[in-house]
Each structure stands twice: as C-alpha cells, then as structure tokens.
Amino acid sequence: MKFIYLVWAGLKRKKLRTGLTLASILVAFMLFAFLGAIREAFLGGVSMAGLDRLIVRHKVSLIQTLPESYKARIQGIAGVSAVCDQTWFGGIYQDPKNFFANMPVEPEAFLAMFPEFILKDAEKQAWLATRTGAIVGRATAERFGWKIGDRIPLQSPIWGQPEGQSQWEFEIVGIFDGLKKGTDTSSFFFRYDYFEEARQVDKGQVGWFTVRIADPDQAAAVAAKIDAEFANSPYETKAEPEGAFAQGFAQQVGDIGSIVMAVVGAVFFTILLVAGNTMAQSVRERTGELGVLKALGFTHFMVLVLVLAESCCIAILGGLGGLGLAWLIIASGNPVPGLLPVFYLPPATLVQGALLAVALGVVAGLLPAWQAMRLKVADALRRGT
Amino acid sequence: MSPSPSALVRIHNVSKTFKRGAEEIHVLSDLELTVMEGEFLALMGPSGSGKSTLLNLIGGLDRPTSGQIQIGPDRVEQLSDRQLAAWRARHIGFIFQFYNLLPAVSAERNIELPLLLTGLNKTARRQHVAAALEAVGLTHRARHFPRTLSGGEQQRVGIARAIVTDPTVLLCDEPTGDLDRKSGDEILSLLQTLNQEHGKTVIMVTHDPHASARASRTVHLDKGQLSDEPAP
C-alpha cells in the first residue's frame, strides 16, 4: 500500500493523456455493458426458457395455425403432463409504434404453465370471472400508465373486427410481475373463449401449443412422438424445446451473440492499442525516473509491478466507471420497450466487465512493464537526463 | 584482498569497456583507488574521461568488465542484480547533477522514496524525512513540488533523499553542475558539513576546481587512468 502514491503520481504526470485514455476505456466499457443488455434482451428468453417445456407449432412456419383440437391429442401422448395454447393476436394500441405482444390464452392452463408470471389471487379470480378481462405485464402497464379497471381498445390487422363491434376492447383485471429480473413482463393476455366467440375467421385454430413434459431428459423423445402423431396430416407439427424455439426466434434478427462478440472484440482490440500506447509512452518519458528508482534500490521486479499497477489502475478506473455509468443509464429505463421487452444489465455482464478491465490493464501494461524491468540503471539515468 | 581498517572503498585493477557496434571503447584501464572512511574525495577530469562511469561502478549501477570493487566488506561486482539493489538501498546515497526528483510528488515524498524499501512504519518514515529536511534546511518546503522549488532547493531535496537512510557513502555526480555559484556554494557547504560533522564518506565527480577545493583530496582521471595531478 505504501507504494500506491507512486502509481498515482505516474497517472497524474500527464493529466490530459491519462484523462483521454480513461475516457476511451470508459466509453468502451459503457458500450460493452449496453451490448450485454441488448444481448440479454434478445437471448434472455433462451436462459429463461423452462427446461420441461416444449413448443409445438406448424411445421411450415409459426404464422401457420394449428387446430385447437390437437390439444387433447397432445395431452394423450405419453410423457406429456400439461398443454396450453396461444395465438398471435397482433393487436395495436393507438399506434403501431406502441408495440407489445398480445395473445388469447386459457387463463388457468396458462397460469399453471407459466409460474414465472406472478399474479395476485384476487386478480386471477377476476380474470376467470370477466370474459373480456385481460392481464398485462408490469412493464407495459407502467409504459402506458394502465391500471386495473381500465378499458383498453386494440385493433387487430390479423383478426379484423370482433363480431358486432368496431374494435376489440378489454378490461384490465390484473397486472403481473416476473418471478426473476429477466422475466418478460411486456405481454398482454386475454381470454381465449372471448376471442374464439368474437373472431370471424379461422375459428377453432390456434397459433402454437406449449407442452409441459414429465421428464426434461425425455424432451427429444416426446417431441418426436408429437411430430409423429401429426405426420402426413394437413397440419404437420414441429415440436422443440422452448429454449431452442426462443433461440430460433432471436436468430430471425441475426446471430446476436456473434454480432455482439464481434463489436466488443473490435472495440477492445482498439482500446488495448490505446491503453498500451499510453503506457509505452509514459514509460519512455520516465526512463530517467525509473532509473532513479532503481538507483535508490528498487528491484527490477518492483519496477515491473509499479508499471503494471499503473496500467491496471487506468483500466480498472475506466472500466468500472463505464460499467457504472451504463448501469445508471440502463436502470433509468428501457429506451425502446417496443423492440426490447426486457432491458437490464445482467450481473454476469458486470462481473465479466470487471474481469475484462483487469485483463485489459495487465495485457496493455505487460510490454511497457517488461521494458521498464529490463532497463539498465546506468543507461536509464543517462537517457533520462 | 583485505581492506585496512580505515579503507572504505578499494578499487583494484578495474577496467571498463563499452561496445559500440564492432568497436570497443576502453573507458577505464586497470584502475586502482582507495578511499578512506570519512574522506571527501573529489574526482576530476575532462568530459569523457570516465568519471561518471567510475562513480556508477562504485555505486553498483554498472558492473566492471574486470577487476574488483570492495566497499566495506562487500565485493560489489559479485552481487546479483537483486542483491545489488538491496545493497544500494542500504549503503549508497546518490546525488545527481540534475537532481532527478520525481516531478509528480512533493519534496517530502521524494525524500521518503528510499525509506519505502525499509521495514519502517509510516510514523518512523515521517520522522526520518523530517530529520533529513531539517538537515538540509528545507522543513518549510516539505509539501512543495519540485517545479515550485529553485535549483538549489531541488538539489537540497536530492541531498536529503540521499542521506535519509544514513548510507555508508554519498556519491555525487556534478552536484553543482546545474547551479549558480551561490547555490553551488551552499550545496558544497552542506556536503562539507555532512562529511566533517556527520562523518559521511563523500565521493564527488566534478570538473569545477572551485568545488574540488572543498574536498579533502582530489584525484584526476584522464584516459582511463588516475593520478594525483591533473593531466598537462
């Protein structure tokens, strides 16, 4: 600890250069944190997916519907313990920009299938008692300022107008929260019986089924049985684990993980050069001072550690500053709730960022520190004067 | 080679050769020198005569190509790099022509540097620094940074840094070379005080006869050889 002021003195020596290097590292780590949050927004569904859940959809595409009657047949397949259906409604609230997912479901089967959605019991009872009732996630309720009792009109370009009305209208009877931080609470669910009765097309059709299986280790076998059950029918199915389904959904946008890695890699390579150059320049300018330290009795190894500590100090200060700023900005709200239903900084990203900061400091400082260590005292004193 | 009781520095048959490409430059040749304990020795000679090289060898900053250097009981040329660093910290106080203070830390922090290598705690280090500052008459400038001090004051900080660990020998490389006459005289008086009142052995490289006049003995180095008289 008694050497800390020497590290600090090295950093203070050229304040502008240290400041600019710190700023570069700070921006890089902010970017790292934002990309981590975006990656989580796209791929979070994969990690949140239930290991014991399958998604059964039309073999051709998700937008093709399946007969609702399949539910009973799936229920009868060995290894299946529960089934519930969902259908993409595509309802628009006031403006297409106000996007959020909305789907008709069977309340009890749905809530049993997705225990990650936390709904108060009184609100669940209200939903069961209200045909036009709907529940909405906390994120969307806060986004539009909705509260229980509000009547929400939606236009559906897919399903048209409900029978006898000009638009679909729902009453908010419950607001659900997520069990975990990354749980998506942007969706809006309403009752399938109301939807089935009021829609004027494709009656008896649903979008996809979520299937709970008794043994997660049998997921592939049960999926194969389901697909075999409906093979050679007009509505052939594709059953897959929920995680794989979520990943496929995210990859419609692109391979987010690889894109994020590529951007982060390029940014950090550049920052490594910036920080490495700063340290190299700093050591070059201080050749005489390092020679003096050695003349006073500092060993080669101590000088190496001092230079490395200086490099790590810049990287850690900049890194933690960037992560902290990003955390503050991300915690202040989702800038694009329609595009990213979940937007938060995962703790794992913070830990990775902190480790990356230390690694950046070590790698950027290694060569200059090695050069400082190898300086011969007499040469260093001669070159420094 | 056993030193006499009062001989502190014994240089025997020391040569130093530098290589510049294929060319070999012989800076010192079979040099013999003895410095007694408590002596104030001035080492004079023209530029390039090898004065600083000899000082570096005595201070363990460089190694001789051949020969023996004994300071007290220690054979300096036989020590490893690590041992040499520890030996320098314990026995040698360096005073440089251009002061060589760290610009980003205060005078007292500069003086404290050699003490960081000792086992002294913070309080003890502060006490040693205060004593060294008092010895050079700079107590009132303890918290000043080098850029705010005059040349003479900076050199006095350099001297305080050199004496703070109470080393065996003070090695001064042109300590007045960058100072005006008045400041130079003050520094020389300080070195004389350290030598005469505190018994410090001082070896000073200089090309200034005015400075060498303060020493108890002067030797001249020319073309790698020592003599008691300047070269004609």
Q: Quote the DSSP letter at residue A155.
A: B
- pLDDT attached to residue B6: 83
Give B99→chain A minimum CA distance, Å: 10
- pLDDT attached to residue A243: 81
CB neighbour burial string for A348-384, b if at least 16 within 10 angstroms, e if fewer? ebbebbeebbeebbeebbbebbebbbebbbbebbeeb
Dist CA B129 CA B112 (whole Å): 6
Q: Do B104 and A13 touch (CB under 8 A)?
A: yes
CA of A384: which chain B residue's CA is closest? B100
- What B113-119 contacts at long range (C-beta under 8 Å, 24+ apart), as own/partner pairs, is B113/A293, B113/A296, B113/B161, B114/A296, B114/A297, B114/B89, B114/B161, B114/B164, B114/B165, B115/B164, B115/B165, B116/A2, B116/A3, B117/A296, B117/A297, B117/A298, B117/B86, B117/B89, B118/B89, B118/B165
CA distances from A364 to A6, A310, B55 (A): 19, 10, 36
User: A289 and chain B: CB distance < 8 Å anywhere?
Assistant: yes
Read off the tokens for B154.
């900076």
Taking one residue from A and the other from B, the number of pairs with CB-CB distance under 8 angstroms is 68
Q: Is the pLDDT of residue B3 over 60?
A: no
Closest in B104, B109, B113 to A296, CB measured: B113
- pLDDT attached to residue A48: 58
Q: Do B88 and A297 touch (CB under 8 A)?
A: yes
Q: Do B104 and A298 touch (CB under 8 A)?
A: no
- pLDDT attached to residue A306: 94
User: A345 and chain B: CB distance < 8 Å anywhere?
Assistant: no
The rounded Cα A156 to chain-centroid distance in angstroms is 28
- pLDDT attached to residue A164: 75
User: A384 and chain B: CB distance < 8 Å anywhere?
Assistant: yes
Summarize pLDDT for B21-30 with one digit per residue, the tens: 888 888 999 9
Probe site for chain A from B52, B54, B102 (most A CB atoms < 10 A): B102
Probe site for chain B from A290, A379, A381, A385 (most B CB atoms < 10 A): A381
Q: Do A289 and B113 touch (CB under 8 A)?
A: no
Tell me the pLDDT of chain A (385 aa) as tens digits: 788 889 988 888 888 999 999 999 999 999 999 988 888 877 766 665 667 899 999 999 888 999 999 999 999 999 999 999 999 999 999 998 898 999 999 999 999 999 999 999 999 999 999 999 999 999 999 999 999 999 999 999 888 888 777 789 999 999 999 988 878 899 999 999 999 999 988 899 999 999 999 998 888 899 999 999 999 999 999 999 888 887 776 666 667 778 888 888 898 899 899 888 888 988 888 899 999 999 999 999 999 999 999 999 999 999 999 999 999 999 887 777 766 767 888 899 999 999 999 999 999 999 999 999 999 998 888 876 5
Q: Can you tell me whether residue B10 is helix, strand or coil?
A: strand
Query: If you average pLDDT over residues B56-66, what whole number do you get?
Result: 94
Q: Do A6 and B105 touch (CB under 8 A)?
A: yes
Question: Could you give the ipTM of this predicted complex?
Answer: 0.91
- The closest alpha carbon to B111, from B86, B129, B126, B90, belongs to B129
Dist CA A317 CA A307 (whole Å): 15
Query: If you average pLDDT over residues B136-146, what whole number do you get?
Result: 94
Assessment of whether the complete model's pTM goes beyond 0.95: no
Give A263→chain B minimum CA distance, Å: 38
Give A316→chain B minimum CA distance, Å: 21
- pLDDT attached to residue A254: 67
Closest in A9, A288, A297 to B89, CB measured: A297
Extended strands (E) in chain B: 7-20, 23-36, 40-44, 66-71, 74-75, 92-95, 169-173, 201-205, 217-222, 225-227
With beta carbons under 8 A apart, name residues in chain A contacting B86. Answer: 297, 299
Q: Is the pLDDT of residue B5 over 50?
A: no
Query: If you average pLDDT over residues B166-170, what whole number do you get?
Result: 93
Read off the tokens for A263.
């951007």
User: A138 and chain B: CB distance < 8 Å anywhere?
Assistant: no
- pLDDT attached to residue A49: 64
Q: Do A299 and B88 touch (CB under 8 A)?
A: no
Q: Do A378 and B116 touch (CB under 8 A)?
A: no
Q: Do B100 and A289 touch (CB under 8 A)?
A: yes
Q: Do B85 and A384 touch (CB under 8 A)?
A: no
Whether the Cβ atoms of residue A297 and residue B89 lie closer than 8 Å to each other = yes
| In this structure, CATH architecture of domain B39-63+80-221 | 3-Layer(aba) Sandwich (3.40)
Whether the Cβ atoms of residue B136 and residue B111 lie closer than 8 Å to each other = no
> What angle is formed at CA A93 by the lines to CA A92 and CA A98, rounded to 5 degrees?
85
User: Which residues, other chains included, contact B107 with Cβ-Cβ below 8 Å and sequence gap of 6+?
Assistant: B101, B133, B138, B141, B142, B143, B144, B145, B146, B149, B157, B160
Read off the tokens for B114.
């050699």
